[in-house]
Amino acid sequence: MAGSRVVSEVRARDKDVKITAFGAEAWQPYNRVLLSNVVAGTSSPDQVRLLDPRWYADHGVTARLGVPVIAIDRDCQTVVAADGTREPYDVLVLATGSEPVVPPIPGVQRATAFRTLDDCERIREAATSARSAVVVGGGLLGIEAARGLAGRGVPVTLLHLAGHLMERQLDEEAGLILRETLGALGVAIRTGVTVSAIRERHVEMAGGELIDADLVVLACGVRPVVGLARDAGLEVERGVVVDDEMRTDDPSIFAIGECAQHAGRVYGLVAPGWEQASVVADLVTGADKGARYRGSRLVTRLKARSVELAAMGETQLTEDEAEIVRFSHRHTGTYRKLVIREGRLVGAILLGETSAVGTLTQLFDRGGPLPGDRTGLLFPDLAGVGGAAVADSPTRMPDSARVCQCNNVTKGQIRACWESGARNVEAVAAATRATTGCGSCRDAVEGIVGWLCEQEGVSA
């Protein structure tokens, strides 16, 4: 996703620079964020493409899809491809992404990792005849895979090593409510368990317990793909080390996306990769020689049908470390939590109905002061407290409000597109890329477009 983005960003700034794109996968660039929809059967592979199949040819880009690069010759400024060809470069951008973590247990070759579109195809094919499935890993991808399989009518058990689901993003109570929500949707969940082996039609737990599984899906985390960079002698820690220009210690080589490590951090979400791609495009084309990447503030959205979840920032702080505002209603699957320090929002969890996410994301991004009455932040529909509801009503939302987090699209940009003739979500997406990342902003974009059409008395 980061690689295709930097190509399109460079071409948008410079129509003439020669661009060659190598990709290990034979597929046209696609949106990994939406792969759970492919598993669930609610989207086809064509519907998660990032670029039209003709885009490369139409824009003068040489695309070597299905041809991985196996070496970088820095002395000659050349990359060596698996088919033996050598391609010279003035500027090289590494966007090698991540690879799934596969636990070293007996029988693991019988399982399928959940990472690529090919993985999705294998999972979908196996699901057509599977009488039972096990998903190993209760993070974001594992939950989305399990929900997708359950939606296909396959009995699913999700096994997770930690004590509660999504332990990096959620506190224990939110993890418990999420578990109960998923349970009601047909996903059986076991936490605090270890898988010791994968048998012919079972998963074996530490202690010998067997769980039926015709299909086993692995979602045990990912690690940056850094072998190419390491073999070329570039500085590598967890990821390929880069500075604020996204340059490695070789000034001709950049790294972006999940393989890059900036200021000690590797980002595993789409928005940072796209922000980094924009910086690199500005620098290599000269469009903005002062462009710098300063890090990202992440909002994690769960993309599983019938489950609404958003988490951001420091969600694990205690009452001794921060001001905590919390509402919990297990019966309805609702949990809302604000983490406030020095009058600023530094973290939040919204599980269940998430109408407040627009406002909270803005406050989290900008670090602005919060209203004295925190209740309006948790329940923006009850009253407009200190401007808390502005992000959830097109009428009162300022044009500067960011609607699409992945692509940094504001309400003002959507309005400008509408005024230029974009009368539906698809037209707005084509012009701004809003909704093309995690897809969680689609309802908001539809609301704004619908409101604008209503105001002017035109059809959407």
Q: How do residues 120-137 score in pLDDT, each as one tens digit?
A: 999 999 999 999 999 999
Residue 417 pLDDT class (50, 70, 90 cuts): confident
Residue 388 has pLDDT above 70, yes or no: no
Distance CA 312, CA 357 (A): 10
Question: Counting every residue, how long is the chain?
Answer: 460
- Rama region for 69: left / alpha / beta (φ>0; ψ in -120 to 50; rest): beta
pLDDT at 261: 98
pTM value?
Answer: 0.87
The answer to whether residue 167 scores a pLDDT higher than 80 is yes
Question: Which domains occur in the chain, in start order?
Answer: 2-98+223-285 (3.50.50.60), 108-220 (3.50.50.60), 301-456 (3.30.390.30)
333-384 residue pLDDT tens = 999 999 999 999 999 999 997 777 878 888 898 888 898 888 888 887 654 4
Residue 122, CA atoms < 13 Å, CB-side half-sphere: 15
456: burial class by Cβ within 10 Å (0-12, 13-18, 19+)?
A: exposed
Closest residue by Cα to residue 95 from 257, 240, 270 = 257
Q: Is 432 helix (H, G, I), strand (E, B) or coil?
A: helix
